[in-house]
Structure 1
Amino acid sequence: MVQDLEKRIKETGLQIYQLIEGDAPSVFKKEFWSGKIMDWCMRNEAFKVEMFRFVDVFPSLSSSVSVAKHIQEYFCRPEQDFPSSLQWGLKLVSPNSLVAKVATKAISDNITGMARQFIVGEDARDALPVLKKLRKEGFAFTADLLGEAVVSETEADEFYQRYIDLFDTLAKEQSKWKPLGNSNSDLDWGFSPKINVSIKPSAMYSQMNARAFDYSVEAALKRLRPIFRKAKQIGAAVLLDMEHTGLKNLTLAMFKKLLEEPEFQDYEQAGIVIQAYLKDSEQDLRELIDWARVRERRITIRLVKGAYWDQEVILARQQNWEIPVFTNKYETDANYEKLARILLENHQYVSFACASHNIRSISYVWEVAKELGVPNGRLEFQILYGMAEPVRNALRKVGLPLRLYAPIGQMLPGMAYLVRRLLENTANESFLRQSFAEGAAREQLLRNPLELLAENPTLPEKVYSAPEYGDKGIFTNEPVIDWTIAENRTRFAAALEKVGKELGRKIPLYIGGREVLTAEEIISTNPNQPSQVVGRVAAATLKEAQMAVEVAKQAFPAWRDTPARERAEVLFKAAEVARRQRMELAALQVYEVGKNWSEADADVTEAIDFLEYYGREMIRLAKQRRMGRAPGETSHLFYEPKGVGAVIAPWNFPLAISVGMTAAAIVTGNTVVYKPASLSPITGAKVYEIFQQAGLPAGVLNFLPGPGGAIGDFLVTHPDIAFVTFTGSMEVGLRIIELAARTPEGAMGVKSVVAEMGGKNAIIIDSDADIDEAVVHTLYSAFGFQGQKCSACSRVIVLEENYQKFVDRLVQAAKSINIGPAVNPETYMGAVIDEQAQRKIMGFIEQGKKEGRLLLSRDDVDMPGHYVPLTIFADIRPEHVLAQEEIFGPVLAVIKVKDFTEALQVANSTRYALTGGVFSRSPENIARAKKEFRVGNLYINRGCTGAIVERHPFGGFKMSGVGSKAGGPDYLLQFMVPRTVTENQMRRGFAPPEEEC
C-alpha cells in the first residue's frame, strides 16, 4: 500500500513537472536584475550576505548619494573579491558624480522592480488591478498587509484601520468578480469566500509579551474582535498568520478564545497557520483538531513549512534554549507530510490549505486526499505571489483550487518580507533553487523525505570555539526564563505568592558563621508599595565591623592555602543552590527593588553565570606558568590572594553584582567582609545564605549590612583590608579611591580598589538605521528597570536625516508601555527605588524643562510608591546638565546632530565611558564607531544594557571605572598578586635534563 502510494506520488509529481517544462520562476530568469545577481547570490555566500543587507537598507536611503555610498561600502571594499561587473562601476568614483547618479538610478529601479515581483500593491486600492488580473487568470488570493513593526498603540490603531479599509475596499468589488471554478454559487469553487485576508497578530497589540500572556491576549482581541466582525458581516474569510515562536502560543490562544465567544461560534471562515518546521507543531495541530471536534465546528488550517528558520535558530542559540525548529530540511519535509495526513484524516472538522511550492509535498497531499476520499471544499493549495509562477500555472492547468498569498504594503516596510523571500529562493536546500536553478534530477526531488533523512541524518549541533576547563567542559550561560512556556509563568506567579507570604522576616548579621543581633535595624520596603515591609536586617556598628575584619583575617590563611579546585567547587555548588531557588530569588527582587519579572530573572541568571564562569577561570589561572626556557633554571609565575577584602555592593543588581564581586574575591583565595546596599539587604542576606549552603567555611564570608556613613569609611581605611571592590555612583567611588589611597599606619600593603562607577551612556541613530529596531532597543535601554542601571541610555543622538521619524515613533512607543507595580506581569516600568531617588530625579526633570523641550511626561499613571514619570526631552545640547550628569532614572535626552562625525563627538563629550550603542547599516560608520566611540562596552544594532557574562565582559574607563572587565578573562587577576619563583638547578656543573625542569 505504501509502495503504491509512493508510485502515485511520483507519477503525479512528474506530471506537474511536464506541465512546467521549460519554464522558470521570474526570480531565476536571466532578466531578473541584470541576470547575474541571483546567480551570484547562490554561488557566493559572501556576496549574498552583502546583497541582502543592501536590499534591506536600500528603502531608508533618501538620496542617490546615499545609495552610491552604501553600494561602495557593501560591494567595493578592498578585502572583497567580487567581480567588477557587480560593483556597478562605482568602486573608484565619487558618490556625488554623474556616473554614480546614473548607476544608482538603474539599481534603484531594479530593486523596486524586484520588490514588485513579490508585493501586489502599496495599499488596497493600488493592489486591486493586480488582484483582479489574478482572478481572471483563475487564482484566488489571500491579502496580507505588510508594515513596519508595531511599536506603539498608535501604530496598532493604524494597522487596525488598514485592515478595516482593506475589507471595505474589497467588499465593494467582490460582487463584480465571477466565482472561480465554474461555481453555481457565489463562492469560489463552490465553497470559499472571494475575500480572504491574513492577519498579523503582532499588529493587534504593540506590547505583546508572552510573560503577560492573558493580558496580551485580551489587549489583542480588542482590535481583532471588530476585524472578525467585519469579515463575518461581508462574508469574508480571515486567517491568523503565524509569526515567530515567541508569538505562537499567544496566537493560538487568541484564535480559540475569540471563536469561543457567542458572536463567532457559528463563523466557519476563520483559520490559523501551523508551521511544520516547529518540533511541537504536531501537538499544536492535534490540540486544534480536538478543540474543533469538541465544539462541533469547522476551522481552516494553513500548513506551511515556516519562514523564520534562521531567526528561530539564532535566537535559541543566543538564549541557550532548545532550538524549536527542525535543523534538517528533510525532517521538516517529513513532518509536513505527517501533519498533512492528520489534516486530511480530520477533514470533517478542518479545511486544509496546503501552502507549499515543493512538488513532492503537493503531490503527496493530492494523492493522500484522493486515497482518503476527501470531499470537494476541504482542500485548497496556496503559493506565494511572485515565488513559483510555473508551479502555480501547472496546478491551475490540472484544475486544483489555488490561492496566492498576496502581500500589500509600501516598499520600506516590505523589505523584511522581500529579504525572507530571497533567502528562501537562494538557500542551498531551496526546492525552487534545486528545481529551476540547479536542475536537480526530478526523481531525486520527488523521493520520500524519510528516505532522504535516513541517508542524511541530523548532525549534532556544532559548539563554537571556547576555552576548555578540564572536566568542567566549556562555560555556557544560564538560560533566562522562556515565558512562552505556561509552566514557567505559573511557577513564577507561585514564587511571588510564596515570597510575598514570607516578607517581613528579621535577619541578623553573620560573622564567622555566627548570628549577631544589633540594637539598630535596616528596614527594607517595597518601592512600589512603601507600606509593605520586605524585611528587617540588623545594622552593624563599628564594633561589629571590627569583629568581621578580625574574623576574616583569621580565616584567611586556611582559605588561601585551600587548593584552587576546591575553592572553585564551592562556586559550582553555590550555582546549583541558586538554580534550585531561582524563582524565589527573582521574586524577592520584584518586591525589594521593583524589578519586573524579566529583569529580576535576568539578575539571577547573571549571578549563576558569575559563579560558573569564575569557578572555571580560577581553575585555568591556578596552573603555574613556565617562564623562559634557559637551561639549568626553572622559572614559574603563579598567583596568590591578596588577603581580606571589603565588598561594597549596589542595590540595582542586588544579587548578580553582589555574587559576582564576592565570588571573584572568594574563589581567588581571599576572605570577604560583604556590605550589601541598605536598600536591598534582604537579597544581600540571600547572597550569604547561598554560599553558606554551598559549604563555604565559616569566616571566609561575613555578612555586614549597615549604613555607609557608619561603617563604610571604617572598612575602606582599615589597615587589615587589602582591597575594596565597589559598584555604585561616581561620587562614592571617588571617595573610596581617595580614602583607600591613604595608607594607614600598620598596614602591610598598598590597598587596591576595583570600582565600577557611573555612566552617561549614549545611543547613536544613524541616517540609515533600522528604525523598527532602534526604537524598541532605545526604549528598553532607557526605561528598562526605570533607567536605574549604570549602563542605561540617557542620551540618544540622532542624525537630522532620520530625526523626526525616529523621535515621533519613540515618543508614541513610550506612551504605550505599561507602567505599574512590578508584581504585575505586564509591567514594563515601575517605581524608582526610594523617596530620595524620586526627589533627585524630579529635580533633573525640572532642570530639563529649563534646558530643552518636553516631548513626553507620563503623568497619566496613577500608582502608589516612588513613581517618577517617564520623561523625554528634545533640543538638549551637549553641554546641558541633562547631557552631562548621570540621572539614574527614566529620563532621556534627545540630541540632534548633522552627521556621524558630530554624533561621535557628542557621544564622547562626557567624563564617563561605560556603554554606548550605534544603530547603523553603514559598514563604514560601524567601523568608525568601533574605533572612535570610546566606551568600555559598545553595542552595534542592539541596546546598550544587558551585558552577558563571558560574551560581553563589562566595565568602563574615564570616570566610569577603575579595574578590569567583570565577567571577562582577566577580572580575577585584580584579586590576586602575581609571584615568580626561579630555581637555579645547577649542582657542581650538572643540571637535570631540560624536559624535567
Structure 2
Amino acid sequence: MQSNLDVRIMNRGKEFFASIAGEAPSIFNKGWWTGKVMDWAMQNEQFKVQLFRFVDVLPYLNTSESLSRHIEEYFSGEDQDIPKVLKWGAGAMGGIGGKLAAGLVAKTIRANIESMAKQFIIGENTQDAIKTLRKLRKDGFAFTVDILGEATVSEAEAEAYLKSYLELLDALRGELPKWTGLGGGGSLDWGTTPMLNVSVKPSALFSQASPKDFEGSVQGILKRLIPIYRKVRELGGWMCIDMEQYKFKDITLELFRRLRSSEEFHDYPGLAVVLQAYLKDTDRDLAELLAWAREKKLPIGIRLVKGAYWDYETVIAKQNGWEIPVWTIKAESDAAFERQARVILENHDICHFACASHNIRTIAAVMEMAAELQVPESRYEFQALYGMAEPVRKGLLHVARRVRLYAPYGDLLPGMAYLVRRLLENTANESFLRQSFAEAAEIERLLENPLITLDRERARRAARTSAPSAAPIPPFTNEPMADFTRADVRQAFQQAIASVRQELGRTYPLWIGGREVFTDDRIPSVNPANPDEVIGSVCQAGREHIDQALEAAQKAFPLWRDLSPEDRAGYLFKAADIARKDIYRLSAWQILEVGKQWDQAYADVAEAIDFLEYYGREMLRLGKPRRMGRAPGEFSQLMYQPKGIAAVIAPWNFPLAISCGMTSAAMVAGNPVLYKPASPSSVVGATLCRIYREAGIPDGVFNYVPGRSSVMGDYLVEHPAISLIAFTGSMEVGLHIIEKAARVHPGQSQVKRVIAEMGGKNAIIIDDDADLDEAVREVLYSAFGFQGQKCSACSRVIVVESIYPRFVERLVEGARALAIGPAEDPAYFMGPVVDERAQSTILKYVELARQEGRVLLCQEVPNHGYYVPLTIVEGITPEHRLAQEEIFGPVLAVMKVKNFDQALEWANSTRFALTGAVFSRSPRHLERASREFNVGNLYLNRGSTGALVERHPFGGYKMSGVGSKAGGPDYLIQFLDPRTVCENTMRRGFAPTMEDDDWI
C-alpha cells in the first residue's frame, strides 16, 4: 500500500509530465542530426560503441585523410557502407566524384559531431561562455561554471587550469555589476543566493594526486584551490568542489573540510561539495559531514548527484579485485538519492541543498519531502546539466523557480570526453531521459517508488542466479591490488615499515635439508635510499654448501616425487595463505631492501600469491593422466613426471614474485629446489624461505642457498645432479647459463632444461590519434615506475611525427612533476636504483644520451643513496646504442617516425621481443600491430608493464628468453617430463567397452 508521501510524489510527478507533454530534449529530436544518430545508437549497440569511440578520437583527426580513414574504419565493414544516418546533412551527392563525396561526408560528420559537443558546453573561451551565461540568466536560470579538463599530467597543466579559473573570475568580475538578481532583482538570485557560482574538479589542480599519498595530495590541491576560492569570496560568490572518481572521494571530502574550517574562510559560508548517491559510502559520508558541520558550527552546502562514472568504477573494481563501490542496480541509486535528500532536508538549518537530477520522480520526491518538512525555499535549489533535459529544466523553472544549470566550458578536446559521458548517460538502457523521451515508457512506471523497483529487480536476479559451485577448490582469481582509498591500507603500510625496521641488521643463514647453516662469508644488504642502513647480513653459500643442498634434495626427491599432485598443491595453497596474511610486512621488506614503491611492492607480493594459487591448480589439472586416442582394444594414457632437481636463479627486481613463481612451479611439479636469490634482494629471498618453512614443505625439497655467482654460480649450473635451471635476469648471464648447461658432464643422466627470461628493449608506439591523456600517463609509469628496473619497462617511445610535439611537451612536463626520493615515502614517484653497480652503469648511459641525442630532461636527485636522474632524450634512431641496449634504469629514448609503418619497423628493430604497447584509436592500426609487432606481450592502449598471472601470461622470444610464458597454461610442463603408457586391452578377440570418450 502506498504511503501518503508516495501518493503525493506520484501526483506531483504526473502534473510535471503533463506540463511538458509533447516536448523532448534536443538530443532525442529526430528532426535533427543528433536525434537521428542517438536513435540509431539506441537501436544498435555495436554502432553505439563505435560512435562513442569515434567521438572520443575526433579532436585528433586534423587532416581530411585521417578523418576519412577513421570514419571508414569505425563505421564500414566488408559488407556495409557508412550508415546513412551519419551522412545525413551532407546534401545530395549525386554526380560528385567518389573522393570528393567522401571528403564532403567526412567534413559533414565532423561538423555535426562538433555541433553535438558544443550543445553541452557554453563556449570554448571566456567570451563565448559569458555570452551564453547572459542568455541563460535572461531565460531565468542561474548557473555554476565548470572549466573542462580534469586529466592533468603535469604541474604546468595544473597551473594552467588554475590560471583558467582566475581568468574566468576576472572576466565575471566585470560582468556581475551588469546583472540583476533572478526572481526579484537586487544583487542576489532569488533574494538569497549569489549570482556567481563556480564548480572545480580538484584532481585537475595537482598532477600527482593519488590516494596513496593522501596528505601530499590534499596539500598539493589546496595550494591551487585556495587562490580560486579566495577570488570567489572577493566577488561574493559560491564555489562547489566536484566529486570525481571514487579514488579521489576521501581526498575531496578532506579538502572541503579543511577549506571550510580554515582560519581564512571560517566565516564565509559559500562552499559546497558534491556527494554521489550511487556510492555505497555516501550514507556514511553524509552523516559524518553533517555531524562535523554541527560540531564546528559551520554552515555547508551539498550538491547531491546520482554519479557519472558508474561503468568506470565497476570495471576498475573488478579488474583490481576490489568490492564494487557503486550500487549495481539503478534503483538502488535512485532510492539512495531520495534517502540522502531527506537527510539533507532534515538538516536544512546547517546545510544548503542542491538537488542535481533530471529524474522527474526524484525531483517530485524532493519537492514533496521539502514541503512535508517545511523547509524554506531559500535552503534548497534544483540543478540540471546544460544542454540536457531541456523540457525538465523548463518545467522545473515554472514550479520551483530556483534552477541552476551546470555549465561547462573550455576546449573541445576535453569537451569530447565530457560529451561521451553525457551520451552514455542519455543512451543507457536504464536512463530516465531515454525511457521518458525516447521510449515513451509508462508514466506510472517512471514515477514508481525505487524501493518497489529494487525489490522486483532483486527477485529477478535471485531467480536467475545458479546454485553455487560445490567444487572443493574455487576457480583461480587474482589477488586484489592494494586499495589506497582505504585509510586502513595506508596505515598498514606505515605500521609494517616501522615493524620491519625493528628487525634490521639480523643475520640470515642458509637453509639446507631442513636446518639453518651459518657461514663466515657474509654480504650486507643495504637500503638503496640510505646505504648506511643495513637491512641484514646474508650468509653466502660455497661449493660445499651446494653439495650439501644437492645431497638433501636427492634424499627428499623420491618421497616428494611420489606425493600426490593434490598434496603438493596443498603446500602451495598453504604458503599462499601465509603470504596473504603477512602481505604488508612482505611488502615492507621490498620497500626497504630494493626501493620498491608501496603499490609496486604490494603488487609483487600479490603476484607471488597468484603464482602459488595458479600453479597449484595447474598441477591438479596436469596431474590427472589424460587418455589419448580412440582406437578400440587399446588404452593409452599421457602423464607427467618431475624432471629432477631444479636450480632456481632469481632476479632482484621482482624479488618475491619471480622467485616464488619459479620455485613453486618446480616444487609443485615434484622437483626439489636449490634457490639462489640475487644478492641485492637476499633478505626478501629469506622471507620466501620462511613462508615455505611455515607451510611445512618437507626437509630438502626447498633449499635456500644465496651465494656469490663468481664462487658457486657455474658450479651450480654445471653440476650433473641438476636437471633443470630456471633463470630470470640479463641476456648476458642467461646466454652464459644456456652455454654452460649445454655441456654434458660425467655422471649426468639427462639433458638439462633451461628456462630463461632475459629482458628486453621495449617500445611503446604513439599513433597520430592516440589519447594523450592516457598515453602520457602510461608511458611515464611504464618507463619510470620502480625506476625503470623492470624487464617489461618502456625504454623507447616511438611517436608519429604529426602528434610528436604535443606528446613530447606533455611527456617532459609530466616527468618533471615526478618527485624522486625514498620509496618508503609515498609522496615520491621514483626512488633509488638497487645498488651502486646499477647506479654506475645507468649514469654511463645518461652520459651516452648526451652524446647520441638531445637530452630533454635530466632530473635532479638526492645526493645520498643510489639515485640516478630520470632522463628523457630525443633524436634517437635504431642505429644508436640507446635504441638497442637494455639499460634497466630510468632512461627513455624518444624516437620520431613519419608514420605507423615506420613505427612498427623501428619497434621491431632490436634483437629483443619481450613487451610492447601501442596507443592508437585506429582499429586498423591496432589490428596490424597485433599481427606485426613482434613481442611476447603486446598491450593495446595501456602501458607495457603490469602483467598479471593467468590474465597476461608473461614472456618473450628472440633474445628475450627461452621457454613458455610464466603464469600461463604451458609453464608447468617445462618442469615435467611427459610419459605415455599404452595397454593392449584385447584378450582372445574380446575388448572391454570404453564408455568414456564415446569409445565403442
1:471 aligned residue: 472
1:109 aligned residue: 111
* Deviation of the 1:436 alpha carbon: 0.6
Question: AA paired with 2:686?
Answer: A
| 2:407 partner SS | strand
Alignment check: 8 A CA contact 1:820 1:863 kept: no
1:657 aligned residue: 658
Alignment check: 8 A CA contact 1:93 1:100 kept: no
| 1:540 partner SS | coil
* Deviation of the 1:991 alpha carbon: 2.5
Instruction: Answer yes or no: is 1:125 the counterpart of 2:124.
Output: no
* Deviation of the 1:35 alpha carbon: 4.4
CA distance in 2, matches of 1:102, 1:180: 45
CA distance in 1, matches of 2:525, 2:632: 64
Question: AA paired with 1:414?
Answer: G
* Deviation of the 1:863 alpha carbon: 4.2
For structure 2, which runs of at least 5 residues remain unmatched after alignment? Answer: none
CA distance in 2, matches of 1:535, 1:817: 30
Percent identity, aligned pairs only, is 58
Q: Cα–Cα, structure 1 residues 227 and 40, in superposed 2: closer, same or farther, change >3 Å?
A: same
Alignment check: 8 A CA contact 1:798 1:895 kept: yes
Alignment check: 8 A CA contact 2:75 2:81 kept: no
Of residues 146, 149, 154 in structure 2, which corresponds to 1:147?
149
2:907 aligned residue: 907
Q: Which stretch shifts more, 32-41 or 417-426?
A: 32-41
Question: AA paired with 1:911?
Answer: R
Alignment check: 8 A CA contact 1:380 1:402 kept: yes
Q: Which stretch shifts more, 309-318 or 288-297?
A: 288-297
* Deviation of the 1:118 alpha carbon: 0.2
5 Å-filtered alignment, 1:765-914, equals 765-859=766-860, 861-914=861-914
| 1:502 partner SS | coil
Question: AA paired with 1:44?
Answer: N
Q: Cα–Cα, structure 1 residues 656 and 79, in superposed 2: closer, same or farther, change >3 Å?
A: farther
2:209 aligned residue: 208
Instruction: Answer yes or no: is 1:178 the counterpart of 2:180.
Output: yes
Alignment check: 8 A CA contact 1:179 1:186 kept: yes
Instruction: Answer yes or no: is 1:957 the counterpart of 2:957.
Output: yes
1:975 aligned residue: 975
2:24 aligned residue: 24
Alignment check: 8 A CA contact 2:758 2:961 kept: yes
Q: Cα–Cα, structure 1 residues 457 and 620, in superposed 2: closer, same or farther, change >3 Å?
A: same
Question: AA paired with 1:514?
Answer: R
* Deviation of the 1:94 alpha carbon: 13
- The one-character-per-residue Cα deviations of 1:421-464 (angstroms, maximum 9, x if unpaired) are 00011111110111111001111111111111111117769999
5 Å-filtered alignment, 1:216-295, equals 216-295=217-296
For structure 1, which runs of at least 5 residues remain unmatched after alignment? Answer: none
- The one-character-per-residue Cα deviations of 1:449-494 (angstroms, maximum 9, x if unpaired) are 11111111177699999x9995212110000110010011111100
Alignment check: 8 A CA contact 2:381 2:402 kept: yes
2:48 aligned residue: 48
Instruction: Answer yes or no: is 1:373 the counterpart of 2:374.
Output: yes
Q: Which stretch shifts more, 63-72 or 767-776?
A: 63-72
* Deviation of the 1:96 alpha carbon: 9.1
- The one-character-per-residue Cα deviations of 1:744-772 (angstroms, maximum 9, x if unpaired) are 12111000100000100000000000000
| 1:333 partner SS | helix
* Deviation of the 1:630 alpha carbon: 1.3
2:761 aligned residue: 760
2:164 aligned residue: 162
* Deviation of the 1:78 alpha carbon: 2.4
1:359 aligned residue: 360
| 2:120 partner SS | coil
CA distance in 1, matches of 2:738, 2:277: 60
- The one-character-per-residue Cα deviations of 1:497-543 (angstroms, maximum 9, x if unpaired) are 00011111111101001111111002100111001000011101111
Question: AA paired with 2:327?
Answer: F
CA distance in 2, matches of 1:961, 1:463: 47
* Deviation of the 1:52 alpha carbon: 0.4
1:946 aligned residue: 946
Alignment check: 8 A CA contact 1:65 1:100 kept: no
2:299 aligned residue: 298
2:987 aligned residue: 987
2:716 aligned residue: 715
CA distance in 1, matches of 2:991, 2:93: 65
Q: Cα–Cα, structure 1 residues 137 and 91, in superposed 2: closer, same or farther, change >3 Å?
A: closer
Q: How many residues align?
A: 994
Q: Cα–Cα, structure 1 residues 544 and 314, in superposed 2: closer, same or farther, change >3 Å?
A: same
* Deviation of the 1:9 alpha carbon: 0.9
CA distance in 2, matches of 1:441, 1:459: 20
- The one-character-per-residue Cα deviations of 1:221-256 (angstroms, maximum 9, x if unpaired) are 111111111111110100000000000000001110
TM-score by length of 2: 0.97
Q: Cα–Cα, structure 1 residues 904 and 87, in superposed 2: closer, same or farther, change >3 Å?
A: farther
CA distance in 2, matches of 1:459, 1:818: 51
Alignment check: 8 A CA contact 2:150 2:201 kept: no
* Deviation of the 1:123 alpha carbon: 2.1
* Deviation of the 1:95 alpha carbon: 12
Instruction: Answer yes or no: is 1:417 the counterpart of 2:418.
Output: yes
Alignment check: 8 A CA contact 2:640 2:977 kept: yes
Alignment check: 8 A CA contact 1:75 1:86 kept: no
Question: AA paired with 1:144?
Answer: D
Instruction: Answer yes or no: is 1:323 the counterpart of 2:347.
Output: no
* C-alpha RMSD of matched pairs (Å): 2.1
Q: Cα–Cα, structure 1 residues 553 and 87, in superposed 2: closer, same or farther, change >3 Å?
A: farther
Q: Cα–Cα, structure 1 residues 974 and 96, in superposed 2: closer, same or farther, change >3 Å?
A: farther
- The one-character-per-residue Cα deviations of 1:285-314 (angstroms, maximum 9, x if unpaired) are 111111111111211100000000000000
2:388 aligned residue: 387
- The one-character-per-residue Cα deviations of 1:858-883 (angstroms, maximum 9, x if unpaired) are 02x33420110000000011110000
Alignment check: 8 A CA contact 1:633 1:984 kept: yes
CA distance in 2, matches of 1:236, 1:125: 20
CA distance in 1, matches of 2:61, 2:462: 39
CA distance in 1, matches of 2:364, 2:510: 74
Question: AA paired with 2:679?
Answer: S
2:7 aligned residue: 7
Question: AA paired with 1:12?
Answer: R
- The one-character-per-residue Cα deviations of 1:800-829 (angstroms, maximum 9, x if unpaired) are 010000000000000001110111011110
Alignment check: 8 A CA contact 2:306 2:357 kept: yes
Instruction: Answer yes or no: is 1:629 the counterpart of 2:660.
Output: no
Alignment check: 8 A CA contact 1:72 1:87 kept: no
| 1:472 partner SS | coil
CA distance in 2, matches of 1:627, 1:609: 31
Alignment check: 8 A CA contact 1:65 1:96 kept: no
* Deviation of the 1:376 alpha carbon: 2.5
* Deviation of the 1:91 alpha carbon: 15
CA distance in 1, matches of 2:520, 2:79: 70
CA distance in 1, matches of 2:644, 2:201: 60
CA distance in 2, matches of 1:476, 1:648: 27
Question: AA paired with 2:877?
Answer: R
CA distance in 2, matches of 1:557, 1:27: 74
- The one-character-per-residue Cα deviations of 1:690-722 (angstroms, maximum 9, x if unpaired) are 111111100000000000111110111000100
Instruction: Answer yes or no: is 1:603 the counterpart of 2:604.
Output: yes
| 1:702 partner SS | strand
Question: AA paired with 1:165?
Answer: E
* Deviation of the 1:994 alpha carbon: 2.7
1:38 aligned residue: 38
1:560 aligned residue: 561
Alignment check: 8 A CA contact 1:327 1:458 kept: no
Instruction: Answer yes or no: is 1:400 the counterpart of 2:401.
Output: yes
* Deviation of the 1:992 alpha carbon: 2.1
Question: AA paired with 1:174?
Answer: L
| 1:207 partner SS | coil
Q: Cα–Cα, structure 1 residues 700 and 207, in superposed 2: closer, same or farther, change >3 Å?
A: same
CA distance in 1, matches of 2:885, 2:994: 60
Q: Which stretch shifts more, 97-106 or 634-643?
A: 97-106
- The one-character-per-residue Cα deviations of 1:859-918 (angstroms, maximum 9, x if unpaired) are 2x3342011000000001111000000000000000000000000000000000000000
Q: Which stretch shifts more, 603-612 or 451-460?
A: 451-460
CA distance in 1, matches of 2:374, 2:398: 22
CA distance in 2, matches of 1:241, 1:133: 25
